[in-house]
Structure 1
Amino acid sequence: MSTTSAAAPTRPGVPDRPGAPPAARSALRSALVLPEVRWAALSLALFALGGAAQLLGAPPLVWWALYLACYAAGGWEPALEGLRALRERTLDVDVLMVVAALAAAAIGQVLDGALLIVIFTTSGALEAFVTRRTADSVGALLTLAPDRATRVHVDDRLEEVDVEQLAVGDTVLVRPGERVGADGVVVAGSSDVDQSSVTGEPLPVGRGVGDEVFAGTVNGTGALRVEVRRPAGESVVARIVAMVAEAAETKARSQLFIERVEQRYSVVVVAATLTLLGVPLAAGAEFEPTLLRAMTFMIVASPCALVLATMPPLLATIANAGRHGVLVRSAVALEELRGVDVVALDKTGTLTRGEPVVGTVHPLAGTSVAEVLALAAAAERSSEHPVAGAVLAAAREREVVVPEARDVVATPGRGVTGRVGGRVVQVGAPALLEAAGGGAGSGAGGGAGAEVAELVAAVERAGDTAVVVIVDDRPLGVLAVSDALRPEAADAVARIHDRLGARTVLLTGDHATAGRAVAARAGVPEVHAGLLPEDKAAHLRGLADRGHRTALVGDGINDAPAMATAHVGIALGRRGSDLAVETADVILVRDDLGTVPTLAVLARRAHRVVVANLVIAGTVIVALVTWDVAGTLPLPLGVAGHEGSTVVVALNGLRLLRRSAWDRAAA
């Protein structure tokens, strides 16, 4: 049992997040399923009742019975763990806690023993809760890929089968709106496929014959026939699951200082207690005073103050962060965060909003912005493509009157065509220019074609997506569609540099031009683009191998392996995928990137408070132990000194609960 692990529930207080998984909505119910949590709650309740009975002057038999019940509820599991450790010839803090609690009760200080029991039992329950949530999260990704797929036989007969039954070479039918059932290559049909879950690309991409598609990605409006190239167990989705599980198992579990020394501390205290008891008795000392001295030593040397020296500052920081929209899973995550020197950032949905917007409208000579937008919005009005929504939003913002369009036809991977007031309007990818004869050079487009080609090139150099508007086979203008930067992104990146002295790096599955454009706007100096999920995780492993401590901020399923690999994984809570949120150590409930540097600064302050508390608690323990060994420490004075130091360090740590602590960290 850990003596210092602490955690916050996964995602309480986020009922406004669309599509929140049942596991998030029932975090409390999930916690109560764990026996460790139930026993800890019972132990705490019995302790509170015993304290209330004692303060209200109830007969000693009443509050003694309640305290002993607290012992039984919270102490049986540590006692069992201690016995197992003894059978393996090891001595840990569980043994020390149980012996110290029993010794306290034996000399009449049952309150001290019950307090020790409650502290250890509660921390163990919190650790069990975090462990369960982490283990459950690894399987969350399995819901991404469909369980069933439609296999096409050679005689065109269709058969619904489990995806595990698909073999390499099989052909599957992917209907509009369905998820792709297996990694493969398109052999018939064309469509726009949303691959953001795997590659992080903000917009659906056109997929036709010969193009690769991945299991779990979402098909658009066209039907596809896909030849399976990998069995289900080797798909990109399956590899992501394997990477998350492997990283969770192999990443060394960081420990707090008190955890690293608990075994040695336990051995020293038990050995010293036995020495204080055995040596005087061997020399002929009286049994009762010798036992009293040894028991006093064990009580004043018990780790109660040391535990509270560590727990309150970290729990107070976690609670303070929670009030400001940041959920921290454990005290270990705080300790890791304070030492981070490289912050890796995902692009789509993290630095950016993950939603396309029309930035600049470039009309050709003789055409106005309003005319280009009006015709484009008319053709796109009935489309479900994300770009269509961006065009319509731009028209509304500019108060452009959008006419009606008829005979609208969508061509996957190219765009839409419709008839507006007797004119044929085409809106879509630059590839439409060639089909319309409007490319650079001669033909119907002529000089307009050359002009629009230059505009397209300029838009793409800026990292935006070019959307051309063609009327009656003549180019009319170009729309620059971009993924808008989050308003707080640039300031958050600057504060990471200035306040933390950390370096930032952009890791994205999108193409290099778009990555560099977003990085330049956000102030991120280093960009790595075109990365698959395993590439992001490998990059972070490389940084760790070079001695860096890393944090990864992301929101997508494709970020989950990197989150599990990084020393600290940070997920956006509102738009983040279920797996990313479950895998992360820190969750930004309000998707505010500005809280990342604030939390890191507060984590560093919490560490300084922990160190100060350990010095205070250690000094008091050394003083009391020295007094007991070298002289005669009265038991009431020993208990008062021990409990007094416990109260001091607890109150010192709880200062981090104040709002001013967060405000100073954010300043």
Structure 2
Amino acid sequence: MITKLQKKQKHKLSRILISLLFFFALLVLRYSNISFQTANNGLFLLGLYLIPYFISGYDVIRKSVFGICHGQVMDENFLMTLATAGAFAIGQFEEAAAVMIFYQVGEFFQNYAVEKSRASVKELMSIAPEYANLEYEDGSVEIIEPEDIEVGDILIIKPGEKIPIDGIVVEGEGFINTSALTGESIPRFVETGDNIVSGCINGDNLIKVQADREYDASTVVRILELVETAASRKSQTERFITRFSRYYTPIVVISALVISIIPPIFIGNWIGWILRGCTFLVISCPCALVISVPMAFFGGVGAASKLGMLVKGSNYLEVMGNLDTIVFDKTGTLTEGEFEVRMVEAASGYSVDEVVKYAAAVEMGSTHPIAAAIVESCEKPFSASIISDVENIRGKGIIAKVGMSRIIAGNRKLMREQGIDIDFDEINDIGVIVYIAKNKKHIGTIVLEDSPKHNSRNAIESIIEEGVKHVVMLTGDSNTNAERTAAELGLTKYKSELLPQDKVRALEEIIEDIKSRNKETSIRNKVAFVGDGINDAPVISRADVGIALGSMGSDAAIEAADIVIMDDDLLKIAGLIRIARKTVGISKTNIVFALAIKLLFLTLGGFGIANMWTAVIADVGVAILCILNSMRMLTIKHSLY
């Protein structure tokens, strides 16, 4: 949270205070009984009121002149300059000075509020490490730039230092502060062999980390890139306000000119009608809309970042507020993604150890969690030198040559394609089933199990409570296994036995179904997809908003995603929906309130009922109220989820 004013803000506040003191002193002197009252010379009074006017508003005048010179005339600076110049021209010195001073008061509060709304996002920018301690083989240490870190380097992380690179702890243990990335205040304990990510802060113990990637590919750099590009992705509401202002400002300027010129041609009273036109201009200033709506979305993005969720643009936050359906990948998203071999069946003539040994041989080069579990369960694997001709068939399995034998490890689809004779009905155990064949003959079956995450069911229930109509699970697992997992999680909708390309097709079917059901309205008809794996990247890209799990997720999934949950806590999705809907609600409230008040006072100003002082209240007052409403986003706490 910002506790101190920035240098520019202090300077502006000083100008406003000096202008106010001078302005009120002039009011007191002019309306008192002292001799100043006799100085009723128009030019003298004009000179006096121009002093606080220029002290407070010289930057507004400069910006309006700059805009005129560069063809960008119709903005709030031009409106204020034109209105106050007109007021001075007809002798309304007090009103002209007051309009500029109080306009700047409103601008000051706007700038302060915007900076405050950016504080949460700015905190993320501070996670970048400034240096790294590189240890050489002889034990000497050199301080280097993080950009100079190479894969394999050993880095010393002292207590209180930022972790400069992603890597593996090779010496030491202790707690690290991950709050800048995950929003969690509870430190995480790490020890030798644990993975560690950049951007966290080391606790009280010295640890040594071996870099497993270069700095440009590290977590901290990816996060900073996301933060820097987020502001460029505007929501539909923000784009509407931009388009609205583009047409609104010229219309009100023309209307003010019509009010000032046309009526007095026929009925006289030029000064009165010009004053009405100036009042109309002051009231029409669109500051409340131009500032408060983007500020609400920026506050929403900041609130999400405080809770460990990186939103790559306010447009994605708006989509989260209009969700009809959330689609989850199963493995690694709803489940732990850490498989364990639960049972091995060997065919006649083969032992359990032989089945596992052949399966581990073909799975050795795969990064899939199932492959990793099979390899880990093998106590005496074959030498990698006898493994060749490895062919990875996406979504089905792996074929490789082990010695002189052709080994196939995969699901029933692959076995049928390869013409392997298996009685699949004999294998009715619930779990992920991998069939092993040697030289076209089935030699055994491995059953693995992957348990749902402890908070998956609660997360799904919370999402439904937030008004999301449908939650769907997609998986490549067998229908039996998918049915069991869905039952454990309380899901009634799921699609199983899907290849990676099938998941994209399944998501498109869901999107088309929603469109057909919601033909009459486009509100809350959006679809989100949540995943973590490389195979999820195409589906994440296809959804209206893609959500990736940042801790366990693949680089491809995170790059394709629109929102990244840094600590993989699925419960935060419901909190994000709440943040999004609160953000959208606040922005819409601001639009309706500001337009209604503006329309009312514009009507009163056009009929001469509202004077210049009323115009100041209508402009500055509405802007401040809308800004205060937007600042409610800054009060988001962890209790949201």
Q: Which residue of 2 aligns with 1:398?
A: none
1:357 aligns with 2:339: yes
Q: Which residue of 2 aligns with 1:313?
A: 296
The answer as to whether partners of 1:281 and 1:287 remain within 8 angstroms in 2 is yes
1:526 aligns with 2:494: yes
Change (3 A) 1:639 1:268: same
Change (3 A) 1:363 1:349: closer
Change (3 A) 1:110 1:560: farther
Deviation at 1:464, TM superposition (A): 0.3
Deviation at 1:276, TM superposition (A): 1.9
Change (3 A) 1:77 1:578: farther
The farther-off stretch of 67-76 and 591-600 is 67-76
1:205-251 deviation per Cα after TM superposition (whole angstroms, max 9, x unaligned): xxxxxxxxxxxxxxxxxxxxxxxxxxxxxxxxxxxxxxxxxxxxxx9
1:646 aligns with 2:613: no
Deviation at 1:530, TM superposition (A): 2.6
Q: Which residue of 1 aligns with 2:282?
A: 299
Q: Which residue of 2 aligns with 1:339?
A: 322
Alignment of 1:469-548 (within 5 A): 479-508=446-475, 518-524=485-491, 525-527=493-495, 529-532=498-501, 535=505, 538-539=508-509, 541-543=511-513, 545-546=515-516, 547=518, 548=525
1:519-570 deviation per Cα after TM superposition (whole angstroms, max 9, x unaligned): 4444441316235175356435524542342222234565455445433332
Rounded to whole Å, the distance in 2 between the matches of 1:579 and 1:68 is 51
The answer as to whether partners of 1:500 and 1:600 remain within 8 angstroms in 2 is no
Deviation at 1:583, TM superposition (A): 4.5
Identify the match of residue 630 of structure 1 among 607, 632, 638: 607
Give the partner amino acid of 2:499. G
Alignment of 1:183-262 (within 5 A): 254-255=236-237, 258=241, 261-262=244-245
1:272 aligns with 2:255: yes
Deviation at 1:78, TM superposition (A): 9.7
The answer as to whether partners of 1:543 and 1:550 remain within 8 angstroms in 2 is no
Q: Which residue of 2 aligns with 1:283?
A: 266
Give the partner amino acid of 1:496. I
Change (3 A) 1:505 1:375: closer
The answer as to whether partners of 1:556 and 1:580 remain within 8 angstroms in 2 is yes
The answer as to whether partners of 2:298 and 2:314 remain within 8 angstroms in 1 is yes
Change (3 A) 1:357 1:268: same
The answer as to whether partners of 1:345 and 1:552 remain within 8 angstroms in 2 is yes
Rounded to whole Å, the distance in 2 between the matches of 1:79 and 1:508 is 60
Alignment of 1:5-16 (within 5 A): none
Give the partner amino acid of 2:284. A
Aligned to 2:339, what secondary structure does the other structure show? strand
Alignment of 1:446-465 (within 5 A): 457-459=427-429, 462-465=430-433
The answer as to whether partners of 1:321 and 1:327 remain within 8 angstroms in 2 is yes
Deviation at 1:394, TM superposition (A): 6.6
Deviation at 1:644, TM superposition (A): 2.1
Rounded to whole Å, the distance in 1 between the matches of 2:330 and 2:81 is 56
Identify the match of residue 552 of structure 1 among 529, 547, 554: 529
Deviation at 1:340, TM superposition (A): 1.4
1:176-205 deviation per Cα after TM superposition (whole angstroms, max 9, x unaligned): xxxxxxxxxxxxxxxxxxxxxxxxxxxxxx
Identify the match of residue 580 of structure 2 among 596, 603, 608: 603
1:55 aligns with 2:17: yes
Deviation at 1:297, TM superposition (A): 1.6
Give the partner amino acid of 1:625. L
Change (3 A) 1:613 1:393: same
Deviation at 1:358, TM superposition (A): 0.6
The answer as to whether partners of 1:358 and 1:479 remain within 8 angstroms in 2 is no
Change (3 A) 1:266 1:56: closer
1:354-387 deviation per Cα after TM superposition (whole angstroms, max 9, x unaligned): x44115235789xxxxx97999599969955555
Rounded to whole Å, the distance in 2 between the matches of 1:393 and 1:334 is 41
Q: Which runs of 5+ in 1 are unaligned?
A: 1-43, 84-94, 127-250, 366-370, 396-401, 419-425, 442-449
Q: Which residue of 1 aligns with 2:138?
A: none
Change (3 A) 1:49 1:516: farther
The answer as to whether partners of 2:9 and 2:108 remain within 8 angstroms in 1 is no
Aligned to 1:485, what secondary structure does the other structure show? coil
Identify the match of residue 102 of structure 1 among 39, 60, 81: 81
Please, what is the CA RMSD of the aligned residues?
5.1
Give the partner amino acid of 1:624. F
Aligned to 2:319, what secondary structure does the other structure show? helix
1:573 aligns with 2:543: no
Deviation at 1:298, TM superposition (A): 1.4
Rounded to whole Å, the distance in 2 between the matches of 1:627 and 1:285 is 20
Rounded to whole Å, the distance in 1 between the matches of 2:400 and 2:580 is 50
1:586 aligns with 2:563: yes
The answer as to whether partners of 1:49 and 1:66 remain within 8 angstroms in 2 is no
Change (3 A) 1:101 1:592: farther
Q: Which residue of 2 aligns with 1:136?
A: none
Deviation at 1:341, TM superposition (A): 0.8
Change (3 A) 1:358 1:583: closer
Aligned to 1:591, what secondary structure does the other structure show? coil
The answer as to whether partners of 1:507 and 1:531 remain within 8 angstroms in 2 is no
Give the partner amino acid of 2:323. V
Alignment of 1:373-392 (within 5 A): 383=364, 385-386=366-367, 387=370, 389-391=372-374
Change (3 A) 1:389 1:577: closer
The answer as to whether partners of 1:51 and 1:63 remain within 8 angstroms in 2 is no
The answer as to whether partners of 1:341 and 1:503 remain within 8 angstroms in 2 is yes
Rounded to whole Å, the distance in 2 between the matches of 1:589 and 1:570 is 11
Q: How many residues align?
A: 442
Change (3 A) 1:100 1:513: farther
Aligned to 1:299, what secondary structure does the other structure show? helix
1:45-67 deviation per Cα after TM superposition (whole angstroms, max 9, x unaligned): 85663334433679997994785
**Taking every aligned residue pair, what percent have the same amino acid on both sides?**
22
Rounded to whole Å, the distance in 2 between the matches of 1:277 and 1:336 is 44
Aligned to 2:317, what secondary structure does the other structure show? helix
The answer as to whether partners of 1:488 and 1:594 remain within 8 angstroms in 2 is yes
Rounded to whole Å, the distance in 2 between the matches of 1:74 and 1:96 is 8
Q: Which residue of 1 aligns with 2:161?
A: none
Aligned to 2:473, what secondary structure does the other structure show? strand
Rounded to whole Å, the distance in 2 between the matches of 1:508 and 1:73 is 57
What TM-score, normalized to structure 2?
0.55
The answer as to whether partners of 1:573 and 1:591 remain within 8 angstroms in 2 is yes
Identify the match of residue 324 of structure 1 among 303, 307, 312: 307
The answer as to whether partners of 1:50 and 1:67 remain within 8 angstroms in 2 is no
Q: Which residue of 1 aligns with 2:195?
A: none
Deviation at 1:324, TM superposition (A): 0.4
1:293-320 deviation per Cα after TM superposition (whole angstroms, max 9, x unaligned): 3222211222222334534433322221
The answer as to whether partners of 1:361 and 1:480 remain within 8 angstroms in 2 is yes
Rounded to whole Å, the distance in 1 between the matches of 2:109 and 2:63 is 9
Change (3 A) 1:361 1:558: closer
